[in-house]
């Protein structure tokens, strides 16, 4: 393995509808927050990793040019990572390898999105090529509905049980979001409200779906020497996993989902995690849809296949449960896509360094962060620990 | 340095328009490099590609489309947007870190499916100012060229000589897109695009799907008797607004300094045997000579007059014909590196430079008037 | 053989609404009143035009607004006789230029028109002044172009 790498600082914007600032100013807010809280200056930074969703989402191409100044990257090497929805996690992974390779000691990683400036669902259809799939798959909810239906049939999970578990998740997450100062949607929901909400694409209803958020996140990756030199409490990168599957949606199994299984196992192996439900203290699962979050628990080995609903209803993944998932409110409450995966990593770093404030999981030492991208095509997992 | 990284082999499409389907091209090129190296897809450690959604036939999340065609099915991989030398260095990092023993690097840009490059570079602008004026890469280049001529007295003839030299070299390159013999007068009399820039001084829009296999030292030595080693890298970003910059004092100097330090290059004219440079506009080759430290500031014009960068010169620049001959926007950095690799190997065919090539430099740039530069150095 | 394959023509159109934020909003209001505003950095004293929310070099927030001169000098220019450019409102013939307005520290990207188009003999340092469009939209092209002053 390469040199040890740690996260020694994070910065986030207030996420939400941010028409009060232009896009570069939004990015600046996250970068400045990072430098302000760490007391580290941009002059110390060896390189910058930048990323967003595709140009068509932004309406500006190759945004590393536009953001060059706010990223404090002038006169420095830059990388521009983009892997669709998993961009945020891929950004973190780029920062990790840059430091692990020995080519840099301090790398600033920034992800951002201004979802409300474009048309996210229309952009999503351009992920599909114009020969075949573009005419059938309209936006993200349709894809996730198909996946969810397949899952319920495969494992014979009654529809009302899935509904009950999904309702439990969304009520918990939207309530947890009150304890996260950066979260976008914060709401006390009732079961009735959730169960009777407008159908987006059956069985997905309004409160099963993440919002369109504007936001940015900045994370500082450091070598072991820099960790010592800067005197900051480190969140060590203990495991990294990434996997991608076929482009054509119909080609692979999205229930026993290979890329999700493989990315998590790759990260577990590296981190020495053998029993995730026992070993992990907290997880930030990328959950743009409640149903998908349940499926992820199974793919990541948090519980057996077909059992996620039962475990959720038992409270296993709640704030006070055995493995709290998304105490930040997760993607379900806040989704500036290009930043979202990086926010998961940043939340994991805050948890293992005891800096998560009101949504801190007491004594968290080992955290799981995840992102998903493409048309159910990519999964990325990072494991962060308070100890090396 | 953690682990030494070697380039094992490369495969690429020629630059002219192909009616072959995009995915088929990616698949065939990937397969070709793996076959050459005698390695199965299953044994490849990681796949890093470069592409750009805006140079990608109107498709978003470009890498989603070609992920499996590029051999990355159920692999750990990633993608760099806009610049293929970024993908190269990311693959190098992944091997250096000890996590992977082999890496496949892809550059993916099917120019024939895209609108004009300037329709795309127009979207590099901010929506509030430069887009309302209508800035794009060609306009930025024309303004840069004017300043170059006025401040240092570089002449239109000297700029035209770059086209003559590079297109002459391209005649011997089976991958080159533009193949024609031209004289200085042809260039000067070619259609004005945006005075002082003429049509023949602007790069074409080309096809370019390229695959390169990298490996950790021990593995590279098993896969090929002639690995070419990674020696150094540097890259540097400039400030965004064109009007905030001195267009003749580019970040290339900074990128080159980083790469030279890493590779132990002291005198580039002496230590570098061949250079492959990204010159989408002819005069930029002269300006980049200065940035790379091949000559003093303002002396790029004299450099081309001296013929020192010609095929018979002491440091040939762009034996492949460069970007003026073949310009697959996103992939062009990797095409430069591929040519540098073939030159070091002595496998550049008719365009092989007439001397022993130990060390070669590949340069790439993207953005208005060279907002970002990247430099990679490789050697035997 | 390969000539027999088809191509598929496809046009992508997507709507965007960009948040201008306070600085662009105020700058455009200035244009509507035939005023060009810059912002000055307290740290390096540079005046940037158009006005910016932050100093690219010092990274300080900029809130010191200055109305700048509408006259300045051409730093660089390029001339199109016939070429049209995607997205550009100005149709050929035109001269696009970098212009240093008096007492500012960045170059403004805009057009040089009027008499300049007859002469096409602009030298570095040519003095120019802003010419405004009658109708103002709060847009960079509210300034019609810059015209040579003799």
% chain B with pLDDT above 70: 99
CA–CA separation, C63 and B281 (whole Å): 39
Residue range A172-183: mean pLDDT, rounded:
98
In a domain, C4, yes or no: no
Q: How many structural domains are present in chain A?
A: 1
In a domain, A171, yes or no: no
Give me the DSSP letters along B336-347: HHHHHHHHHHT-
Please tell me the predicted confidence (pLDDT) of residue C1.
44
pLDDT tens-digit series, residues B106-140: 999 999 999 999 999 999 999 999 999 999 999 99
> Which CATH number fits the domain that encloses residue A274?
3.40.47.10
Q: Is the pLDDT of residue C3 over 70?
A: no
Please tell me the predicted confidence (pLDDT) of residue A359.
98
- Greatest CA separation for chain A: 58
Q: Out of C10, C14, C24, whose CB is closest to A123?
A: C14
Q: Check CB contact of B119 with chain A, cutoff 8 Å.
A: no
Q: Is the pLDDT of residue C15 over 90?
A: no
pLDDT tens-digit series, residues C115-131: 889 888 888 899 999 99
In a domain, A76, yes or no: yes
In a domain, A65, yes or no: yes
- Identify which of B211, B203, B186 has the alpha carbon closest to the alpha carbon of residue B69: B211
In a domain, A70, yes or no: yes
In a domain, B45, yes or no: yes
pLDDT tens-digit series, residues A321-380: 999 999 999 999 999 999 999 999 999 999 999 999 999 999 999 999 999 998 899 999
- Identify which of A197, A217, A168, A196 has the alpha carbon closest to the alpha carbon of residue A339: A217
State pTM to two decimals. 0.96
Give yes or no for a contact between B327 and B137, defined as CB atoms under 8 angstroms apart: no
The bridge status of strand B228-237 relative to strand B5-12 is antiparallel
Residue range B201-208: mean pLDDT, rounded:
97
3-state per-residue secondary structure call for chain A: CCCCEEEEEEEECCCECCCCCCHHHHHHHHHHHHHHHHCCCHHHCCEEEEECCCHHHHCCCCHHHHCCCCCCCECCCEEEECECECHHHHHHHHHHHHHHCCCCCEEEEEEEEEHHHCCHHHHHHCCCCCCCHHHCCCHHHHHHHHHHHHHHHHCCCCHHHHHHHHHHHHHHHHHHHHHCCCCCCCCCCCHHHHHCCCEEECCEEHHHECCCCEEEEEEEEEEHHHHHHHCCCCEEEEEEEEEECCCCHHHCCCCCCHHHHHHHHHHHHHHCCCCHHHHCCEEECCCCEHHHHHHHHHHCCCCCCCCHHHHHHHCCCCCCCCCCECCCCHHHHCCCHHHHHHHHHHHHHHHHCCCCHHHCCCCCCEEEEEEEECCCCEEEEEEEECCC
Average confidence score pLDDT of chain A: 95
In a domain, A205, yes or no: no
% chain B with pLDDT above 90: 96
Query: Can you give the residue range of the structural domain that contains A318?
Result: 5-120+211-385
Cβ pairs A/C, distance under 8 A: 58
pLDDT tens-digit series, residues A209-231: 999 999 999 999 999 999 999 99
Please tell me the predicted confidence (pLDDT) of residue A280.
98
pLDDT tens-digit series, residues A19-57: 999 999 999 999 999 999 999 999 999 999 999 988 888
Neighbours of C115 (CB within 10 A): 11
Q: How many structural domains are present in chain C?
A: 1
Q: Is the CB of A69 less than 8 angstroms away from the CB of C54? A: yes
The bridge status of strand B76-81 relative to strand B359-366 is unpaired
Q: Is the pLDDT of residue B196 over 80?
A: yes
Q: Out of A25, A56, A116, whose CB is closest to C53?
A: A25
CA–CA separation, B34 and B224 (whole Å): 12
Q: How many structural domains are present in chain B?
A: 1
In a domain, B303, yes or no: no
Residue range B161-177: mean pLDDT, rounded:
98
Please tell me the predicted confidence (pLDDT) of residue A242.
98
Query: Can you give the residue range of the structural domain that contains B98?
Result: 5-115+205-223
In a domain, B16, yes or no: yes
Query: Can you give the residue range of the structural domain that contains C127?
Result: 16-148
Please list every residue in chain B whose beta carbon sits closer than 8 Å to the beta carbon of residue A75.
Answer: 236-237, 251, 254
In a domain, B174, yes or no: no
Average confidence score pLDDT of chain B: 96
Give me the DSSP letters along B224-260: -SS-EEEEEEEEEE--S-GGGS-TTS-THHHHHHHHH
Res. A121 pLDDT band, cuts 50 70 90: confident
> Which CATH number fits the domain that encloses residue B111?
3.40.47.10
Please tell me the predicted confidence (pLDDT) of residue A171.
98
Residue B19 is inside which H or E element, if any?
Answer: none
pLDDT tens-digit series, residues B226-249: 999 999 999 999 999 999 999 999
pLDDT tens-digit series, residues B24-47: 999 999 999 999 999 999 999 999
Q: Is the CB of B122 less than 8 angstroms away from the CB of C86? A: yes
Q: Out of C8, C20, C56, whose CB is closest to A69?
A: C56
Res. A4 pLDDT band, cuts 50 70 90: very high
Smallest CA–CA distance, residue A63 to chain B, in Å, is 7
Edge-first strand order for the sheet with C47-48 is C47-48, C37-40, C64-67
In a domain, C9, yes or no: no
- The interface predicted TM-score of the complex, written ipTM, equals 0.97
Q: Check CB contact of C76 with chain B, cutoff 8 Å.
A: yes
Q: Which residue in the block uniquely carries the two structure tokens 């809280």? A: A37
List the Cα angle C134/C139/C145 in 5-degree steps: 60
Res. A123 pLDDT band, cuts 50 70 90: confident
Please tell me the predicted confidence (pLDDT) of residue A247.
87
List the Cα angle A238/A239/A243 in 5-degree steps: 165
Please tell me the predicted confidence (pLDDT) of residue A139.
66
Q: Can you read off the two tokens belonging to residue A68? A: 């060059």
% chain A with pLDDT above 70: 98
């Amino acid at each position: 393995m390469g040199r040890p790498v740690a996260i020694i600082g994070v910065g986030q914007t207030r996420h939400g509808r941010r028409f009060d600032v232009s896009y570069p100013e939004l990015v600046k807010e996250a970068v400045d927050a990072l430098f302000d809280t760490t007391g580290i200056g941009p002059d110390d930074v060896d390189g910058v990793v930048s990323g967003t969703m595709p140009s068509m989402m932004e309406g500006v191409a190759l945004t590393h040019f536009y953001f060059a100044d706010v990223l404090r990257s002038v006169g420095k090497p830059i990388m521009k990572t983009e892997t669709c929805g998993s961009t945020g996690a891929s950004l973190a992974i780029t920062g990790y390898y840059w430091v692990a390779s020995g080519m840099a000691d301090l790398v600033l990683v920034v992800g951002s999105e201004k979802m409300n400036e474009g048309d996210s669902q229309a952009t999503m259809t351009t992920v599909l090529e114009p020969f075949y799939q573009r005419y059938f798959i309209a936006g993200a909810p349709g894809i996730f509905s198909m996946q969810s239906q397949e899952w319920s049939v495969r494992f014979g999970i009654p529809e009302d049980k899935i509904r009950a578990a999904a309702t439990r998740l969304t009520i918990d997450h939207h309530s947890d979001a009150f304890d996260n100062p950066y979260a976008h949607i914060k709401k006390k929901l009732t079961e009735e409200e959730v169960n009777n909400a407008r159908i987006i694409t059956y069985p997905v209803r309004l409160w099963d779906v993440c919002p369109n958020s504007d936001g940015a996140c900045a994370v500082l990756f450091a070598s072991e020497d820099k960790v010592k030199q800067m005197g900051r409490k480190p969140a060590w990168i203990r495991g990294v996993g990434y996997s991608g599957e076929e482009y054509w949606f119909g080609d692979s199994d999205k229930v026993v989902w290979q890329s999700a299984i493989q990315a998590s196992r790759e990260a577990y192996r590296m981190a020495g995690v053998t029993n995730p439900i026992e070993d992990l203290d907290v997880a930030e699962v990328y959950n743009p849809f409640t149903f998908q979050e349940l499926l992820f628990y199974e793919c990541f080995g948090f519980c057996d296949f077909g059992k996620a609903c039962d475990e959720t209803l038992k409270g296993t993944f709640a704030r006070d449960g055995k493995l709290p998932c998304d105490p930040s409110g997760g993607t379900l409450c806040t989704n500036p896509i290009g930043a979202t995966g990086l926010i998961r990593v940043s939340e994991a770093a805050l948890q293992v360094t005891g800096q998560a404030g009101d949504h801190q999981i007491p004594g968290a030492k080992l955290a799981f962060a995840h992102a998903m991208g493409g048309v159910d095509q990519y999964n990325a997992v990072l494991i962060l620990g308070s100890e090396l | 340095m953690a682990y030494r990284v070697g380039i094992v082999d490369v495969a690429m499409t020629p630059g002219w328009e192909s009616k072959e389907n995009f995915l088929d091209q990616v698949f065939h090129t990937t397969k070709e490099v793996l076959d050459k190296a005698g390695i199965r897809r299953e044994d490849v450690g990681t796949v890093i590609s470069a592409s750009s959604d805006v140079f990608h036939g109107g498709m978003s999340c470009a890498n989603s489309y070609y992920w499996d065609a590029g051999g990355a099915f159920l692999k750990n991989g990633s993608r760099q947007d806009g610049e293929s030398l970024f993908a190269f260095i990311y693959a190098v990092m992944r091997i250096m870190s000890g996590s992977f023993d082999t890496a496949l690097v892809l550059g993916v840009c099917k120019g024939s499916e895209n609108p004009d490059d300037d329709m795309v570079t127009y979207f590099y602008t901010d929506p509030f100012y430069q887009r309302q004026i209508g800035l794009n890469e060609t306009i930025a280049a024309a303004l840069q060229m004017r300043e170059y001529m006025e401040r240092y007295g570089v002449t239109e003839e000297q700029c035209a000589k770059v086209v003559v030299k590079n297109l002459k070299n391209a005649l011997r390159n089976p991958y080159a897109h533009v193949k024609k013999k031209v004289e200085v007068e042809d260039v000067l009399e070619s259609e004005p695009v945006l005075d002082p820039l003429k049509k023949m001084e602007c790069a074409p829009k080309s096809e370019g799907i390229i695959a390169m296999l990298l490996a950790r030292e021990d593995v590279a030595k098993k896969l090929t008797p002639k690995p070419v080693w990674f020696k150094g890298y540097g890259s540097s970003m400039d400030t965004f607004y064109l009007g905030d910059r001195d267009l003749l004092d580019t970040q290339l100097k900074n990128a080159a300094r980083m790469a030279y330090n890493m590779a132990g290059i002291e005198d580039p004219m002496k230590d570098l045997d061949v250079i492959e440079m990204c010159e989408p506009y002819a005069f930029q080759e002269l300006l980049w000579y200065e940035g790379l430290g091949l000559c003093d500031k303002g002396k790029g014009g004299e450099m081309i007059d001296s013929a020192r960068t010609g095929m018979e010169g002491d440091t040939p620049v762009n034996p492949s014909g460069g970007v003026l001959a073949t310009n697959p926007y996103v992939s062009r950095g990797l095409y430069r590196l591929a040519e540098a690799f073939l030159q070091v190997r002595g496998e550049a065919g008719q365009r092989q430079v007439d001397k022993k090539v130990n060390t070669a430099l590949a340069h790439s740039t993207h953005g208005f008037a060279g907002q970002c530069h990247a430099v990679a150095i490789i050697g035997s | 053989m390969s000539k027999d394959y088809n191509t598929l023509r496809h046009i992508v159109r997507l709507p965007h609404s960009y948040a201008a934020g306070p600085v662009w909003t105020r700058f455009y209001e200035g244009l509507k009143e035939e005023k060009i505003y810059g912002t000055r950095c307290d740290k390096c004293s540079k005046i940037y035009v158009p006005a910016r929310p932050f100093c690219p070099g010092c990274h300080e927030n900029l809130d010191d607004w200055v109305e700048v001169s509408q006259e300045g000098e051409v730093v660089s220019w390029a001339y199109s006789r016939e070429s049209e450019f995607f997205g550009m409102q100005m149709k050929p013939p035109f001269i696009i230029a970098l212009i240093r307005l008096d007492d500012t520290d960045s170059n403004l990207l805009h057009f040089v028109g009027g008499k300049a188009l007859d002469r096409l003999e602009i030298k570095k340092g040519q003095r120019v002044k802003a010419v405004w469009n009658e109708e103002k939209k709060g847009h960079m092209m509210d300034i019609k172009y810059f015209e040579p002053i003799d």
